């Protein structure tokens, strides 16, 4: 039985097709200004990738993400909090804490042994600690997201960026550049400041190993390293692209709904 | 009371408090190396402070009675009852620039309290919730001047380790007339009965009279000293004699002869400097006379205050805590003493006098201080915890406009530099001074 | 607000809650009636009623900004007084003959100081509300109420006799009883009225004269008596918090399937769960005891947290509540710490709890929906 999950975020749209217990295909597209268009694009590509003829081959589809209400072909929608937790847990059943850093929000969930969410903390009122923040920083540094993410680029003497607001943090970084600070140290400072934000949220829901990162920003190795240092635990890797964890979770829920009906 | 489990809990509860004592012992060492009259004053003050801390530690470790209370709950009474006491909210005011404070601040976020709650409230809540606050025999709670403070008492009561510690909080009326004073005097009487019942320490009226008379001596000297600060140039700046005078008179042991002695020396110190025509900072001539209308920014004071003097010649001539109506306590009878103590603690003590009731004192204090001290600029730091003060910003601004003195509202956290960085504050202040043609 | 209610009584009530001025107030004033605005549910409105004055609870409904009040308040102040004062500065409250404030919280109490300096409202007072709930505090508040009675009498030229006070108390209690009856209906498995609809009815209660309001309530109760709610829901929720007067907020929660069946909020149970003692010989004393000790308290009142916690648990049992939403306005110190304690207390009894921060004027609907949805999913519903 084939089911689908579609995670429509602010920066990217993700679609996953599951066949029982394995991922048949997945696809990530850049988001357009219309969530329904993004959803269609992602799902169409996933369907193509699975060698299927059309959407109708899917028994059930669950939509999630900020655009979840606008997934026209979804049978229902589930919050991204539940989906990311389920997805991460399915990908690695040892996971008990999930840190999801998306395009314009970040959240932390604590899970029980079945992947069910126990508690969650969310920051969706400001850009600090989200993909937007990293994009802005990458622009200011002129180094691209790769430059901020790759491990080789992390300085050993991270600059302190104290601004709570990402807009002011940008000015702070410009000042640091003008003062001639080493780029790697600025980069490490940026990742540190996000790690600090996440740290507070993790401690609020309670840190339990294993901890996994999902969402687009989880591919930022520098951030993962900074978070590991701050939390004192390793970030456990997921066997698939962590960015699709939400769509995976959605697909899993779709599977459950399809079986029970 | 002294089984092992309890001993461990007591040790843990004293851990941070001892760190604080050690921090001040360290400052004392530094002060002892200063061979100036001001240095000697610092040494005296630090000794009084450390001594009061040692007493609390001793009581806690050896099961002797001691209480938690506040500077605005008539501390003369505690001296008269010979009862060691400490302020649950001490840390942000005294040790916010200690190196271990950042860890504690992160701790406040971890326990999930909203970050818009005053840092000076969150820190003690964090300590209480994590067992790092000495548990006294009884608690005198504070319900003034702000909402945050009242919630501290409620969280304290809710905490399982503190649930059974007797708690009494004098209720502050909103008004400021004779009726209010009488009501509060009765609250203080109830407080005394409460303390007597739970600590076994009794209040003797004659002893109270002695203490109040000593306190009166301190206040008279304080008044004398503050007249000296009206001089141009001001003989002392942020480092000496300002808020410290408040600390000595109200915070550690009110009405103690050591305090009077300290004030006497303070006055001498000030007089000497004026005689010699010396300003607050020999290396930074006075160019701007500043009213800092709040507590000192204890979280980053060493990075900011000297900069003000050296960069701008901005001398902190006076601040919210350096001032007081110096009305003395009439010691004729029990009734007059309780009446005057009530009045002092309800309507005179700093911050309570401005923030407890309606906003008049925000205005009238600014007007009086600007005039008395020839103030060139008024700064309302805009601490994130002062919600009522934030809603009084417009009134303060209008007042300053009326009397023709420049006014700056910054917006910061007096204890947590991560809220608004010191650089940002310096930047705002610099722009203000430049813009107003000061310095 | 989504509603299927066809009751014309409900429509009238909902209309009164949706703006500041309403036809009933207009009518009252056209017949020479006086209106005094007030903040906070601890104000003894019975005294105003006894003086023949319409008490009007202050709201910032319909505010689109705080450009005017920003000159007086700051960005770290609660958005409720900021918006309400802004509406006043725009002239939306020019119809008031007086303003009765109370030392409720750090933000709202400064409306008094700023209003006094900037608006010409003839009668402006602030009452001193004790911070504790003991007998000396009841005695103090009794005096405060007596002083209010004298000042009102003098200014408005009315004699507020004990009898008139008793009548006002009786009338106000009638409202309370009717409102409790409304809440009773929500104990059903399929309540005929939603949380959003109920809030509209409660808010209307503080904006309309008591007699017509009670009449509308009786009609509404009749209309609802035979109907059964058809709304599908995933869980029965209770909302706990403060100055929530916007039904749309609850509408969004209920839109996700979280039916709000009861509450402890400023416009909810706290104002009407208990009656003022009508048998007392001294009505002023009865009022003082009611407002300080007898009514369900809020975190403004110190030393009462255990009783508040018990009150929540009683409501949870009575209304078969599945989960609790604790909402608070940003910068509210009272509810910040209260929810901190609620979280612990509710966890102990196994009741799911979600804390939400909000602004006075509804914003971030998408974010709110996500959190509610996630909360319901977490509850396994």
Q: Which of C364, C373, C380 sits opposite A79 (nearest CB)?
A: C373
Check: CB of residue A184 under 8 Å from CB of residue A177. Answer: no
Cβ–Cβ contact B193 with A under 8 A: no
Map out the domains of chain A as residue ranges: 1-92+239-261, 95-237
How far out from the chain centre does Cα A228 lie?
Answer: 17
Do the chains contact at B112 and A204, CB–CB below 8 Å?
A: yes
Which residue, B339, B350, B344, is CA-closest to B327? B344
Q: Which of B110, B112, B418 sits opposite A162 (nearest CB)?
A: B418
**Model confidence at B41, in pLDDT bands (50, 70, 90)?**
very high
Do the chains contact at C380 and A66, CB–CB below 8 Å?
A: no
Model confidence pLDDT, tens digit, residues B128-150: 999 999 999 999 999 999 999 99
Do the chains contact at C377 and A79, CB–CB below 8 Å?
A: yes
Model confidence pLDDT, tens digit, residues B228-241: 999 999 999 999 98
Q: What pLDDT does residue B4 have?
A: 60
Check: CB of residue C266 under 8 Å from CB of residue C298. Answer: yes
CATH of residue C322: 3.40.50.11900
Q: Give the span between the Cα atoms of C214 and C147, in whole angstroms.
A: 29
Q: What is the pTM of this model?
A: 0.94
Instruction: Give the ranges where A72-213 is alpha helix by DSSP (H).
Output: 80-91, 131-141, 144-149, 166-178, 183-205
Cis peptide before B233 (omega within 30 of 0): yes
Q: Which CATH architecture has domain A95-237?
A: 2-Layer Sandwich (3.30)
Residues of C in contact with B114 (CB under 8 A): 328, 330, 336, 357
Do the chains contact at B421 and A200, CB–CB below 8 Å?
A: no
Q: Domain limits at C247?
A: 190-197+229-378
On whether residue C3 sits in a domain, the answer given is: no
How many B/C residue pairs have CB atoms within 8 Å? 148
A175: pLDDT strictly greater than 90:
no
Per DSSP, the residues of C79-135 read: HHHHHHHHHHHTTTTTT-SEEEEES--TTTHHHHHHHHHH---SEEEEE---SS-SH
On whether residue C206 sits in a domain, the answer given is: no
Q: Nearest chain C residue to B355 by CA: give it.
A: C106
For chain A, what is the mean pLDDT?
91
Q: Give the span between the Cα atoms of B337 and B327, in whole angstroms.
A: 12
Same domain membership, residue C234 and residue C153:
no
Q: What angle do CA A236, A238, A243 make, to 5 degrees?
A: 115
Which parts of chain C sit beneath pLDDT 50?
none
Map out the domains of chain B as residue ranges: 2-199
On whether residue C42 sits in a domain, the answer given is: yes
Backbone angles phi, psi at B335, to 5 degrees: -65, -45
Mean pLDDT of B186-213: 98
B17: pLDDT strictly greater than 90:
yes
Model confidence pLDDT, tens digit, residues B284-333: 999 999 999 999 999 999 999 999 999 999 999 999 999 888 789 999 99
Q: Give the span between the Cα atoms of A70 and A93, in whole angstroms.
A: 31
CATH of residue C142: 3.40.50.11890
**Model confidence at B3, in pLDDT bands (50, 70, 90)?**
low
Q: Who has greater pLDDT, B99 or B64?
A: B64
Cβ–Cβ contact B427 with A under 8 A: no
Model confidence pLDDT, tens digit, residues C218-231: 999 999 987 878 88
Taking each continuous run of H as one helix and of E as one strand, the counts in chain A are 8, 10
Q: Give the span between the Cα atoms of C192 and C186, in whole angstroms.
A: 7
Fold held by A1-92+239-261 = Nucleotidyltransferase; domain 5 (3.30.420)
Same domain membership, residue C155 and residue C28:
yes
- Specify burial of residue B306 (Cβ count, 10 A radius: 0-12, 13-18, 19+): middle
Do the chains contact at B419 and A164, CB–CB below 8 Å?
A: yes
Residues of C in contact with A87 (CB under 8 A): none
Structural tokens at position B74: 């008539």
Same domain membership, residue C360 and residue C262:
yes
Model confidence pLDDT, tens digit, residues B239-253: 998 889 999 999 888
Do the chains contact at C366 and A66, CB–CB below 8 Å?
A: yes
B72: pLDDT strictly greater than 90:
yes
Fold held by B2-199 = Rossmann fold (3.40.50)
Which residue, B332, B356, B329, B351, is CA-closest to B341? B329
Check: CB of residue B90 under 8 Å from CB of residue B126. Answer: no
How far out from the chain centre does Cα B267 lie?
Answer: 20
Per DSSP, the residues of B108-151 read: HHHTT--TTS-HHHHHHHHHHHTT-S---SEEE----S-HHHHH
Mean pLDDT of A91-115: 93
Number of domains in chain C: 2
């Amino acid at each position: 039985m084939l089911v689908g999950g579609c995670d429509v975020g602010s920066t990217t749209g993700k679609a996953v097709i599951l066949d029982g217990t394995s991922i048949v295909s997945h696809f990530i597209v850049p988001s357009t200004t219309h969530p329904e268009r993004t959803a269609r694009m992602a799902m169409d590509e996933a369907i193509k990738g699975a060698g299927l003829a059309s959407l109708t081959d899917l028994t059930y589809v669950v939509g999630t993400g900020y655009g979840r209400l606008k997934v026209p072909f979804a049978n229902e929608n589930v919050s991204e909090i539940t989906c990311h937790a389920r997805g991460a847990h399915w990908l690695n059943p040892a996971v008990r804490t999930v840190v999801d850093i998306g395009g314009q929000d970040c959240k932390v969930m604590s899970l029980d042994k079945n992947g069910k969410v126990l508690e969650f903390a969310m920051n969706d009122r400001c850009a600090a600690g989200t993909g937007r923040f990293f994009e802005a920083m990458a622009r200011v540094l002129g180094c691209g997201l790769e430059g901020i993410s790759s491990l080789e680029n992390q300085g050993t003497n991270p600059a302190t960026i104290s601004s709570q607001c990402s807009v002011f943090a940008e000015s702070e970084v410009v000042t640091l550049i003008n003062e001639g600070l080493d780029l790697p140290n600025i980069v490490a400072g940026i990742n540190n400041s996000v790690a600090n934000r996440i740290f507070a949220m993790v401690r609020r829901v309670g840190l339990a190993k294993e901890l996994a990162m999902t969402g687009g920003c989880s591919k930022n190795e520098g951030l993962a390293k900074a978070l590991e240092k701050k939390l004192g635990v390793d970030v456990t890797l997921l066997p698939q692209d962590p960015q699709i964890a939400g769509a995976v979770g959605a697909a899993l829920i779709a599977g459950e709904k399809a079986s029970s009906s | 009371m002294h089984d092992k489990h309890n001993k461990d809990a007591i040790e843990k509860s004293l851990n941070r408090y001892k760190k604080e004592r050690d921090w001040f012992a360290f400052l004392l060492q530094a002060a002892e190396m200063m061979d100036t009259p001001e240095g000697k004053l610092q040494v005296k003050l630090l000794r009084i402070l450390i001594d009061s801390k040692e007493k609390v530690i001793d009581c806690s470790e050896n099961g002797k009675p001691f209480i938690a209370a506040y500077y605005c709950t008539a501390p003369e009474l505690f001296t008269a009852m010979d009862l060691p006491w400490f302020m649950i909210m001490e840390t942000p005011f005294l040790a916010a620039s200690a190196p271990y404070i950042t860890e504690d601040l992160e701790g406040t976020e971890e326990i999930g309290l909203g970050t818009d709650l005053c840092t000076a409230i969150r820190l003690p809540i964090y300590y209480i919730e994590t067992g790092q606050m000495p548990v006294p025999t009884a608690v005198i709670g504070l319900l003034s001047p702000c909402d945050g403070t009242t919630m501290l008492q409620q969280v304290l009561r809710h905490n399982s380790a503190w649930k059974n510690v007797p708690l009494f909080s004098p209720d502050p009326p909103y008004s400021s007339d004779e009726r209010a004073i009488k009501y509060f005097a009765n609250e203080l009487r109830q407080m005394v009965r409460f303390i007597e019942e739970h600590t076994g320490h009794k209040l003797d009226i004659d002893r109270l009279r002695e203490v109040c008379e000593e306190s009166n001596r301190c206040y008279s000297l304080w008044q004398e000293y503050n007249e000296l600060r009206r001089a141009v140039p001001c003989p002392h700046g942020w480092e000496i004699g300002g808020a410290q005078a408040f600390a000595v008179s109200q915070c550690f042991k009110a009405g103690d002869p050591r305090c009077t002695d300290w004030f006497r020396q303070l006055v001498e110190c000030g007089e000497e400097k004026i005689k010699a025509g010396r300003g607050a900072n020999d290396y930074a001539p006075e160019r701007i006379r500043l009213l800092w209308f709040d507590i000192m920014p204890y979280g980053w004071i060493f990075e900011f205050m000297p900069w003000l003097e050296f960069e701008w010649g901005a001398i902190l001539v006076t601040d919210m805590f350096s001032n007081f109506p110096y009305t003395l306590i009439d010691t004729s009878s029990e009734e007059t003493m309780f009446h005057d103590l009530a009045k002092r603690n309800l309507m005179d003590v700093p911050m309570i006098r401005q923030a407890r009731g309606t906003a008049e004192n925000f205005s009238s204090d600014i007007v009086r201080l600007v005039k008395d001290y020839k103030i060139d600029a008024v700064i309302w730091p805009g601490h994130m915890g002062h919600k009522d003060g934030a809603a009084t910003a417009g009134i303060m601004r209008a007042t300053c406009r009326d009397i023709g003195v420049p006014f700056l509202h910054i917006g910061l956290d007096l204890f947590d530099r991560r809220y608004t960085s010191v650089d940002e504050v310096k930047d705002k202040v610099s722009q203000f001074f430049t813009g107003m043609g000061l310095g | 607000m989504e509603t299927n209610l066809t009751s014309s009584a409900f429509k009238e009530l909902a209309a009164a809650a949706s703006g500041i001025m309403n036809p009933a107030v207009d009518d009252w004033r056209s017949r020479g009636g006086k209106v005094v605005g007030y903040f906070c549910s601890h104000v003894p409105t019975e005294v105003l009623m006894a003086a023949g004055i319409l008490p009007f609870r202050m709201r910032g409904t319909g505010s689109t900004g705080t450009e005017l009040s920003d000159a007086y308040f700051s960005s770290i102040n609660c958005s409720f007084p900021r918006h309400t004062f802004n509406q006043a500065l725009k002239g939306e409250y020019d119809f008031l003959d007086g303003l009765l404030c109370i030392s409720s919280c750090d933000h709202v109490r400064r409306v008094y100081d700023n209003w006094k300096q900037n608006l010409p409202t003839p009668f402006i007072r602030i009452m001193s509300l004790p911070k504790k709930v003991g007998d000396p505090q009841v005695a103090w508040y009794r005096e405060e109420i007596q002083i209010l009675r004298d000042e009102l009498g003098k200014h408005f030229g009315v004699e507020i006799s004990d009898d008139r006070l008793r009548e006002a108390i009786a009338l106000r209690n009638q409202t309370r009883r009717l409102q409790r009856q409304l809440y009773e209906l929500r104990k059903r498995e399929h309540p005929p009225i939603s949380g959003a609809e109920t809030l509209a009815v409660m808010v209307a209660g503080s904006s309309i004269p008591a007699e017509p309001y009670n009449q509308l309530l009786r009609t509404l109760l009749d209309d609802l008596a035979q109907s059964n709610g058809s709304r599908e829901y995933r869980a029965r929720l209770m909302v706990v918090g403060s100055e929530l007067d916007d039904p749309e907020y609850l509408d969004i929660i209920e839109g996700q399937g979280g039916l709000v069946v009861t509450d402890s909020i400023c416009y909810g149970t706290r104002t009407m769960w208990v009656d003022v003692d009508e048998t007392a010989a001294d009505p002023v004393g009865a009022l003082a005891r009611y407002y300080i000790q007898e009514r369900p308290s809020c975190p403004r009142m110190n030393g009462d947290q255990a009783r508040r916690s018990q009150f929540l648990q009683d409501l949870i049992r009575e209304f078969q509540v599945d989960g609790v939403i604790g909402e608070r306005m940003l910068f509210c110190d009272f509810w910040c710490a209260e929810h901190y304690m609620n979280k612990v207390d509710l966890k102990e009894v196994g009741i799911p709890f979600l804390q939400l921060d909000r602004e006075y004027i509804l914003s971030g609907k998408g974010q709110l929906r996500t959190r509610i949805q996630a909360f319901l999913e977490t509850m396994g519903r």
